[in-house]
Copies of this chain bind each other. A is one copy, B any other.
Amino acid sequence: MTTNARGPSTRTARTSRTSAQEPSAAALDDTDRKLLALLAEDATRTYAELGKLLFLSAPAVHERARRLKREGVIKATVAALDAAKLNRPLLAFVHVDTTSWAVTRQLLALQELSDVEEIHTVTGESAMLLKVRTRDTQSLEQLLARIHAIEGFTGTRSYIALTTYLERGPSSNL
């Protein structure tokens, strides 16, 4: 009988149907979450390196990664670009107050603009929230002018970011 240094009773939570998860939520064990955290930080690591960090073999890591991609937990592997280096140092959050929800469709046309990073409908006094990144204040003004050209909203309020202390994607809890 061989002693297993990395835990003989590693239960896989995936196979246990103890609690019915929400429809869109995936069943993940601690190793999955640790792997996701590592890949969310740097996806260029080799499976051998990941295996070392996770105390697993390379093929095992590969299989997990494949499953997570297939299940959609990993949506994509993308390059994270530096906005400042792309001549977009000005980050702003724009609240758009609309009178009717019909205006929403008009605002969706803004996703064509590369200045616009996020478009959400939100609760509260404003109906929509935009995260935009422009070259300078003039570019921001042009964008606001374009929004103002659309009929059916009360106005906009812009919050310009002075310093960004943290900016990352969704991370797994562990």
A residues engaging B (CB < 8 A)? 21-22, 24-26, 28, 36, 39-44, 71-89, 91, 93, 95, 108, 111, 114, 116-124, 126, 129, 133, 157-173
Contacts and interface: CB of A to CB of B under 8 A. Distances in A.
Given A81-B170, A82-B170, A108-B166, 5 more contacts: A78-B78, A87-B173, A118-B164, A118-B168, A126-B159
Contacts of A75: 80-82
Given A85-B24, A86-B172, A118-B167, A79 B161 contact: no
Q: Nearest 5 A-B pairs (CB), nearest first?
A: A39-B79, A83-B170, A122-B159, A119-B166, A120-B161
A171 B134 CA distance: 11
Contact of A78 (B22, B41, B159): B41
Contact of A120 (B71, B82, B158, B163): B163
Nearest to A33: B86
